[in-house]
């Protein structure tokens, strides 16, 4: 598959998720077979005003490329200037992605994210200004609309195509649904049938078979997996196995615990021990979900402040599980 001039190994992508798809997790998902990874969303105003924390979010490792840097905002001039002055010159950024789908109240109250779906005229201005200056392919992520009374994702998709967007990701929910209910794959199908640029389907891919079902049902060119990849980076490799007609292989509890340890060490090396250990608590909950006696271990992990102790708890847990298994 290709987006603009960027050739991708496959059409199974890691969707952007704030606080989750950091550099470490993107590298892991790339190693597990993701064809494209997206950064956490980055504030265009933060980049414009030189905020140090915002700038750190844009860091991309060679191991995760090709990678898309996702920005959000609602000021066409600021967003265009950020692309022109901060992103164009970066060799590590392959694709610029624009977020117009985030439903979070703190994003929406500033008129950013999915709030833009209420203003197609402003959407056109933003896309026009960015595409005018960008030296990289520009993609867009949207939802179906703001609420059931204003489902205008089709209109926005056509605006995106007219303005020269290289690909469109559509999440099959409205803003007011957040992540509840079922994603509307019929709407994704309708968008795919209405525009000629690549369409990336997003929403409710939790098992490898779901990706194949979405691709077949909607006809979309690719799928982006968000929550389904949390604690489950194997999903990308497993989908590829199914696409090749091979047998799906589920990760064992041993695979999951070993990956959790690898993730812990990587994030501590990249972000430092204090931040890394704190951030791993949520990932640990996802990695260990459903494993025997995992609640006791998760509660213990939530109190841990050092890398060595966290790893020790996981190694002991693995030993305990192996002992139970061999009895």
102 catalytic? Reply is: yes
Catalytically annotated residue among 29, 102, 220, 268: 102
Q: How far apart are CA 155 and CA 162, in angstroms?
A: 11
* C-alpha to C-alpha distance for 285 and 279, rounded to whole angstroms: 11
199 bridge partner residues:
168
SS3 assignment, position 37: strand
Give the span between the Cα atoms of 168 and 287, in whole angstroms: 30
Query: Within the chain, what is the greatest distance between any pair of CA atoms?
Result: 66
**Cα-Cα-Cα-Cα dihedral of 166, 172, 174, 178, to 10°?**
-110
Best CA proximity match to 4, nearest among 131, 155, 112: 131
Do 195 and 157 meet the contact criterion of CB atoms below 8 Å apart?
A: yes
Residue 302: both structure tokens together:
């939530």
Helix or strand or coil: residue 321?
helix
Residue 190 sits at the vertex; the CA angle it makes with 186 and 195, to the nearest 5 degrees, is 150
β partners of residue 14? 37, 225
150, 118 contact by CB (below 8 A): yes
The tokens describing 250, both together, are 């589920």
Query: Residue 79 in contact with residue 121, Cβ under 8 Å?
Result: no
SS3 content of the chain, % helix, strand, coil (to 5): 50, 15, 35
> Could you list the active site residues?
102
């Amino acid at each position: 598959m290709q987006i603009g001039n960027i050739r991708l190994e496959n059409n199974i992508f890691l969707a952007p998720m704030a606080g989750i798809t950091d550099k470490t997790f993107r590298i892991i998902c790339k190693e597990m077979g993701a064809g494209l990874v997206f950064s956490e969303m980055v504030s265009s105003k933060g980049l414009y005003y030189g905020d140090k924390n915002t700038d750190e979010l844009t860091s991309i490792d060679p191991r995760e490329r090709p990678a898309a840097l996702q920005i959000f905002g609602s000021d066409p001039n600021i967003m265009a200037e950020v692309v022109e002055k901060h992103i164009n010159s970066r060799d590590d950024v392959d694709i610029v992605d624009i977020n117009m789908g985030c439903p979070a109240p703190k994003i929406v109250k500033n008129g950013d994210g999915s709030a833009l779906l209420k203003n197609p005229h402003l959407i056109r201005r933003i896309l026009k200004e960015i595409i005018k200056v960008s030296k990289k392919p520009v993609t867009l992520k949207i939802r179906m609309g703001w609420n059931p009374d204003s489902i205008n994702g089709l209109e926005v998709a056509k605006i995106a195509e007219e303005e020269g967007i290289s690909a469109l990701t559509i999440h099959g929910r409205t803003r007011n649904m957040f992540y509840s209910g079922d994603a509307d794959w019929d709407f994704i199908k309708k968008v795919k049938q209405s525009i000629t640029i690549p369409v990336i389907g997003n929403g409710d891919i939790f098992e490898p078979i779901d990706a194949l079902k979405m691709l077949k049902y909607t006809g979309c060119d690719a799928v982006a997996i968000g929550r389904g990849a949390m604690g489950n980076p194997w999903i990308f490799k497993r989908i590829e196995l199914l696409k090749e007609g091979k047998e799906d292989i589920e990760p064992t509890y041993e695979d999951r615990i070993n990956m959790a340890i690898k993730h812990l060490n990587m994030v501590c090396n990249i972000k430092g021990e204090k931040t890394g250990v704190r951030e791993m608590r949520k990932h640990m909950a996802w990695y260990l979900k459903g494993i025997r006696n995992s609640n006791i271990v998760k509660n213990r992990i939530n109190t841990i402040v050092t890398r060595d102790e966290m790893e020790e708890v996981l190694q002991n847990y693995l030993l305990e599980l192996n002992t139970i298994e061999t009895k």
